[in-house]
A and B are shown apart, each in its own frame.
Chain A
């Protein structure tokens, strides 16, 4: 069954601000081919399924309307994967300092 938002749920809605053809004249061609879309989060003021229009009250108390895209949206960004190209950098630099006899901890730090 399609998930539904209940009144009071924390949700994310989406709205087209400018359709293709309404974009600013200075916008490059590839961007002109896309609509300007806005997303905002808030508490649902009505019930609705994903894809349905609804009104929300944002965290500062403003009302906004749009198509429901997520119920209880979470943050998905992370620290990424391991980067083999970066991993050796610190060790290599420390080796340069060791070879000069100036690595951290190899001698008292002079003022």
Chain B
């Protein structure tokens, strides 16, 4: 007998854990350690794949082994600004060479393989980003059905060009694309579909997804050693949900690069609300921005899994912000100086690298760890034309005068590109507060304190101070 289940928002959200445990094929409760803590490494080991096995799975569908390219002219431009002896060599990992045009193919490869192994008839992912095309492409290669749920339109049913392009690409690979208006209820729609279809949830935030990115960090380390005879000194990673930085840093560590400085970079969209219908089409970047980067670093477990495998504060040595106009400028530099036309959202880390390399020695090596494909919609001209249509002022000037949602200022000069440090301690304090609030505990154990130090890589003093502010006894 088929039971008709209550499909109201509150009823479906109330049974989210039941739906997810069916759709993820993993029992997350066994990693919980009571109080605030859970066993992160045990959860990461649950995939059962070694890094070599992940490489084999990815090689089966043509994922990975992307070129590492030296950006000689951009390095020269950096050196025109740097003090004598400064200006690191900049390399880029050309992830656009993956089958679906971005590093997201790595994340999708392992998830889709797992779905196939476990006998699911298809996969579902809620994503407006490149990950959709990656899941669609991998599903096509492994003969699984695929549904991608996107947040695409504002209330006027005007679609964001970059997301329209990503939807088109999913459809090109034979996926069903469900396109929604703005709102976090995207997750609710995904839960309903998981229940209806019995498909696998190819979440961005499972251990499979993160294991898929570890190969990126590992490969780039191997390539830098082969090309330069040294390990990378700095790797700059575009930061949104935290998976990119987590997986890349884990891969670097597995390659023995413990001393490599791992920097997260986001576009500053301060002041724009991510769930606001009005603000939705005033953003010229749909990912890689602070609207994801800040909240996900400060609380990873806001994701569509019980425990997020992407935990950026465990790995990020610095977090820097750049302006929208600077990224469009850097996208021009990459095309005109290096002959590489790539999508602007993938060039956020390149923009930050341009500023960061100026502080480093000439013999040091900085790696920008991704590029993404470009095309209609996913292009500077498309994004800036759309911005103008939505009342945003585009002009040249000092990019510091950029106001998200109001103006985009293209630098007049390459010396105006800066990477502004975002205080990691602010994110660390936020994580402590969120961990306590989410667990709903009324006292803190020494094990909880140790867990929070691991989670944030903060000093013991900072964690204790933040807990004291919350007035919780530590026993």
Contact = CB atoms under 8 A, between A and B. Distances in A.
Contacts of A103: 73
Nearest to B415: A96
B377 A77 contact: yes
Interface residues of B, number: 64
Contact of B147 (A22, A41, A60): A60
B328 A27 contact: no
A39 B475 CA distance: 53
B153 interface: yes
A37 B394 contact: no
B48 to A, nearest CB: 29
Contacts of A46: none
Interface in B360-387: 376-377, 379-386
A104 B333 CA distance: 12
Nearest to B74: A93
A60 B143 CA distance: 11
Given A24-B9, A62-B197, A90-B335, A77 B177 contact: no
Contact of B185 (A36, A60, A82): A36
Interface residues on A, range: 35 or more
Contacts of B122: 60
Given A30-B278, A97-B76, A90 B333 contact: yes
Interface string A1-40: 0000000000000000110001110111011011111111
Contacts of A65: none
A75 to B, nearest CB: 5
Given A36-B185, A39-B179, A90 B332 contact: yes
Interface stretch (B155-163, B235-243, B246-254, B287-295): B155-163
Nearest to A60: B145
A59 B174 contact: yes
Given A24-B188, A27-B275, A91-B336, 17 more contacts: A17-B185, A24-B9, A24-B185, A26-B275, A30-B278, A35-B181, A38-B179, A60-B146, A62-B197, A75-B164, A77-B164, A78-B382, A79-B381, A86-B381, A96-B414, A97-B337, A103-B73
